[in-house]
């Protein structure tokens, strides 16, 4: 579980905070990395419950994408400025996430299909409100939700693997999950019940 440590002289104990999809730990100057790791692990259930609850993004929130931190703010323009995401509406958020997702998801998809020796399968990146992906096995076509990039790499990989397995099994049978776990033995821990973020006031 990836998190950011903020060391402060006036902090006497470890404090956990979630901003957007980023886990922040305020720590005393002398706190060791091992001590902080244990603290985060101990609070993992709380962290996951928080991340898996309805996620409404608003102005001044922090969004972490592929280990880069972005600050959200509202404007009349829908364009990215340095490390800020300039957003004024759900449509603006969708546009930016869609554009950022293209190289990230295409690269991940190609790496996984190559490693699994899966040929002649196509990828489309979409904006979905309630699902992470779809497999159209007759067309050998996978759709992935652009908002996947807001989550950990292992979750993205688990969704890609899940959809690729549907090329061979068109339901959620035992055989389907046997294949999924063959490709990703730690699938159960990787495939969390995350919620798709949306823009709010």
Q: What is the mean pLDDT of residues 42-64?
A: 73
**What average pLDDT does the chain have?**
85
Residue pair 164/113 in contact (Cβ under 8 Å)? The answer is yes
- Residue 193 or 137, more confident: 137
pLDDT of residue 37: 92
Question: What's the token pair of residue 105?
Answer: 């998801």
HEC string for 54-123: CCEECCCCEEEECCEEEEEECCCCCCEECCEEECCCHHHHHHHHHHHHHHHHHHHHHHHHHHCCCCCCEE
- For the cut 90, the answer to whether the pLDDT of residue 145 exceeds it is yes
188 by DSSP, 3-state: which?
Answer: helix
Query: What is the rounded average pLDDT of the residues 49-66?
Result: 70
């Amino acid at each position: 579980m990836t998190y950011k440590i903020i060391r402060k002289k006036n902090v006497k104990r470890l404090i956990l905070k979630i901003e957007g999809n980023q886990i922040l730990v305020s720590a005393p100057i002398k706190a060791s990395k091992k001590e902080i790791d244990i603290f985060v692990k101990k609070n993992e259930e709380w962290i996951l419950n928080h991340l898996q609850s309805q996620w409404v993004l608003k102005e001044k929130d922090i969004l972490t994408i592929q280990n880069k931190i972005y600050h959200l703010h509202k404007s009349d323009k829908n364009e990215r400025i340095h490390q800020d995401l300039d957003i004024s509406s759900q449509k603006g958020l969708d546009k930016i996430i869609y554009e950022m997702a293209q190289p990230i998801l295409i690269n991940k998809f190609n790496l996984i299909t190559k490693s699994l020796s899966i040929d002649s399968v196509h990828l489309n990146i979409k904006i979905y409100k309630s699902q992470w992906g779809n497999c159209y096995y007759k067309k050998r076509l996978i759709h992935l939700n652009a908002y996947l990039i807001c989550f950990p790499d292992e979750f993205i990989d688990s969704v890609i693997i899940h959809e690729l397995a549907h090329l061979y099994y068109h339901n959620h049978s035992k055989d389907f999950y046997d294949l999924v776990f063959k490709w990703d033995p730690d699938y159960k821990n990787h495939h969390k019940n995350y919620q798709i973020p949306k823009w709010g006031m």
